[in-house]
A and B are shown apart, each in its own frame.
Chain A
Amino acid sequence: MTDYDAVVIGAGHNGLICATYLAKAGHRVLVLDGRSEPGGCASTREFTAGFKVSDCAQWFSQFDRSITKDLNLHGAGLKLSDTKTTISLQPDGNHLTLDGDHIAGAGVDPVDQAAYREFRKMMQRFAKLMTHLYRGRPPKLVEHNWRDRFTLMKLGLGLKMMGREYMRDIMRIVMINIYDVMNEHFKHDALKSTIALDAVTGTNMGPAVTQYRL
């Protein structure tokens, strides 16, 4: 029997989630994958006897937690460890650690520590604004229907609600490269490079040409 309501090509996490929602709505869904195991970039492989590796993606951070809850992934066996500290190893052994708002080591002075807390606060503000955009389809800008118009209005209002200075910051920062953002905020080299790593991971651009990634 090869008759389905929908066929999804690729059993990575997005393919599976899409299929799950379709199936949940009562459709008969088939997910196809070229490999022998599902998972795509979100899979685990035993690369030598007894040793396993996250085959491709290595961190779990941007996953929409409302989906975890909605599809009861915990009930289906997903367990998450505590948030890990970021450690930037230094040649002299005085390593730099970033844990939430807290920075230690590598001789980062109180000025940079305070700047880091401010920076995180700003990023979280911006992230909050972006999060609700991730939860919908990107709005059309001209040929919009009421739903697109609502998304755009919410974005505009969200921008206004941030306050004047934050709004000015975000309209400038989305177009700027991480190299300049780091230099505007921090003095400490290892701190700058540790934070900047997130902005260049997976792009083919260097820090001086990368646009902002939240």
Chain B
Amino acid sequence: MNQYDAIVIGAGHNGLTNGAYLAKAGLKVAVLERNPYIGGATVSRELHKGWYYSNCSYVSSLLRPEITRDLELPRHGLQVVPFGGGATFMRNGDHFGNYSDHDRHYRELARHSKRDANAYDRYSADTSLQTKLIRPYLLRTPPDPTSLKPKDLRDLLEFARSFMNLGEEKLLDTIKFWTASVGDYLNEYFETDVIKAHMAGSGIIGTALGVYSPGTAYVLLHHYMGDVDGNVGAWGFARGGMGAIASSLSKAFQSFGGEIICDANVDEIMVKNGSVTGVALKDGTEYRAPVVVSNLDPKRTFLDIINPSDLPKDVLKKARNFKIRGSSGKLNIALDGLPIFNGLDPKNKLMAGDLHFSDSLERQERAYDDWKAGTWSKDPYLDMMIPSLTDPTMAPPGKHMMSVFVQYAPPKVEGREWTDEDKDGFEKSVIDQISNYSPNFKDLILHCETRTPREIEAEVGLTEGNIFMGELTFDQLLFNRPFPGYAQYRGPIKGMYMCSSGTHPGGGVMAAPGANSAREILSDLKRPNTVPGEYADD
């Protein structure tokens, strides 16, 4: 009997989190997954014998610690190992190193510019103020500013008060920060190209915007607001790859009696008399439930798996206008050994961090120009990692696994679909970029998986290959995510909910949308809440 209390569509980290909290409250829950494996964009795949690729998301920081602890994910096998370091290699053979040690970092900054070294603490303090402001709102449902319900008014007032408490000057800084471009924001603190470029990367990763586009300073914050073991701003590798996150969540979900069904490709959410009744698969199988939660992005949810006649007109229009633009690609590479980079001792710990090759904002903006013209960047911005330096289980002994996130890659090439030749051209521009700084790199390549937005969309189901399931610009954040009027996880049909990264607080393997959505569902069902509240920061 295919009857459940709730069905979640999509076994990514948010779907599994959502399912886990619903099951914990005693509901009979099934999570349906289209692929033969779970995880969505949080996977580890052995695509070359002996090597494990986190072939979509590749680092962890934003995963809410409240959820990690509450669902006892470490007991279910999750271990996040922080990494330090990182560097931007320069065209002149020098580099800028991102040292974890404060004093060592100061000396490195000062080697490039004394003034920038002295500005760094001010920059850190200002940015961490923004982090502190946003963190308490991650595990909460955004209030609706047009609503007059007591809960919304109370939340709005609290929200307003936390801003007012900043004082006039800091509040104006905050407004500026939330609307500024990452380029303008960094220009206020630093003068050195390579230093600005090293930091600006976090402002453009995953977005179809350039370093000088308004709104990208927030994207920077989005990458700073996580933590590893309470260390705010730190990033880490999930041991065994990002699939370890999905795997531990699935075990937590199953420990509460939840059921995962793979190879279940949903065709339609069934609706009768204005309420959902379940889902129908493409193969004709039906699963019935009074609650259906979509972990697909808003476009797929409203335009692909719901009959348009079941939706209000405004929702269709809003879903069509939802900005979810492909902007990035990825190369996962099996290496025969460790590549050597010009000017950096391979034993230097910087190698274990994020490595880049764009040494100025100008070059990053030019890379965006290519995207606007409908082609992949010829001088791409790369966020490159060698996870096997930190987690040796990713590759056989002595070998290495390299993950290269590439910005920019358009969803379509000059208006047409990607071809295999385009994909080869894209791959070549990335490999050439790395080879420019690493003489032995090309000879070490044993296997390379190249993913353009075409592959990401086809294999993972992210529309246009957008990693955040929708741009992180203010018109699509907080009470505007995914769109105004539907930002509290409830869909326009009774019993239909959303829990994907397309809802507040957005993408980045946070699991917060899944948890927030579960809290709202349980409240509608008048069940006791199982979702933890946010921890207080210091």
Contacts and interface: CB of A to CB of B under 8 A. Distances in A.
Contacts of A164: 146, 485
A208 B181 CA distance: 13
A8 B146 CA distance: 44
A172 B214 contact: no
B480 A180 contact: no
Interface in B28-76: none
B145 interface: yes
Contact of A141 (B164, B210, B484): B164
Interface string A171-198: 1110111001001100000000000000
A142 B167 contact: yes
B209 interface: yes
A204 to B, nearest CB: 9
B294 interface: no
Contacts of A143: 167-168
What interface size band does chain A fall in? Answer: 20 to 34
B209 A171 contact: no
Given A141-B171, A173-B475, A180 B484 contact: no
A164 to B, nearest CB: 5
Interface in B446-494: 473-475, 479-480, 483-485
B155 to A, nearest CB: 16
Interface in B205-243: 209-210, 212-215
B172 A175 contact: no
Contacts of B210: 209
B473 A176 contact: yes
A71 to B, nearest CB: 33
Given A173-B475, A209-B210, A142 B480 contact: no
A140 interface: yes
A175 B473 contact: yes
Nearest to A170: B484
Interface in A144-185: 160, 164-165, 167-169, 171-173, 175-177, 180, 183-184
A175 B168 contact: no
Contacts, number: 58
B166 interface: yes
Nearest to A144: B168
A20 interface: no
A175 B475 contact: yes
Contact of B179 (A169, A208, A211): A211
Nearest to B164: A142
B401 to A, nearest CB: 36
Contacts of B323: 180
Nearest to B172: A141
Nearest to A168: B484
B321 interface: yes
A18 B168 CA distance: 27
Contacts of A142: 164, 166-168, 171
B363 interface: no
B168 A172 contact: no
Nearest to A210: B214
Contacts of B168: 140-143
Given A208-B372, A209-B210, A211-B214, A175 B179 contact: yes
A167 B172 contact: no
Given A142-B166, A164-B146, A172-B480, A209 B475 contact: no
B251 to A, nearest CB: 40
Nearest to A204: B212
Contacts of A206: 372
A160 B474 CA distance: 20
Given A142-B164, A168-B485, A175 B474 contact: yes
Among B210, B214, B314, the most chain A Cβ lie within 10 Å of the Cβ of B214
Contacts of B166: 142
Contacts of A169: 484
Contacts of A160: 146
Interface in B125-176: 145-146, 164, 166-168, 171-172
B176 to A, nearest CB: 12
Nearest to B208: A208
Among A171, A173, A175, A211, the most chain B Cβ lie within 10 Å of the Cβ of A175
Interface string B192-213: 0000000000000000011011
Interface in A97-150: 140-143
Contacts of A165: 314
Nearest to A211: B214
A183 B322 CA distance: 11
A150 B12 CA distance: 48
Contacts of B480: 171-172
A211 B213 CA distance: 9
Contacts of A173: 475
Nearest to B170: A142
A171 B172 contact: no
A164 B168 CA distance: 29
Contacts of B475: 172-173, 175-176
A168 B146 contact: yes
Interface of B: 145-146, 164, 166-168, 171-172, 179, 181, 209-210, 212-215, 314, 321, 323, 372, 473-475, 479-480, 483-485
Given A140-B168, A164-B485, A184-B321, 16 more contacts: A141-B164, A141-B172, A142-B168, A142-B171, A143-B167, A143-B168, A168-B146, A168-B484, A171-B479, A171-B480, A172-B475, A172-B483, A175-B179, A205-B212, A208-B372, A209-B212
29 contacts: A141-B164, A141-B168, A141-B171, A141-B172, A142-B164, A142-B166, A142-B171, A143-B168, A164-B146, A164-B485, A165-B314, A167-B145, A167-B146, A171-B480, A171-B484, A172-B484, A173-B475, A175-B179, A175-B214, A175-B473, A175-B475, A176-B473, A184-B321, A205-B214, A206-B372, A208-B213, A208-B372, A209-B181, A209-B213
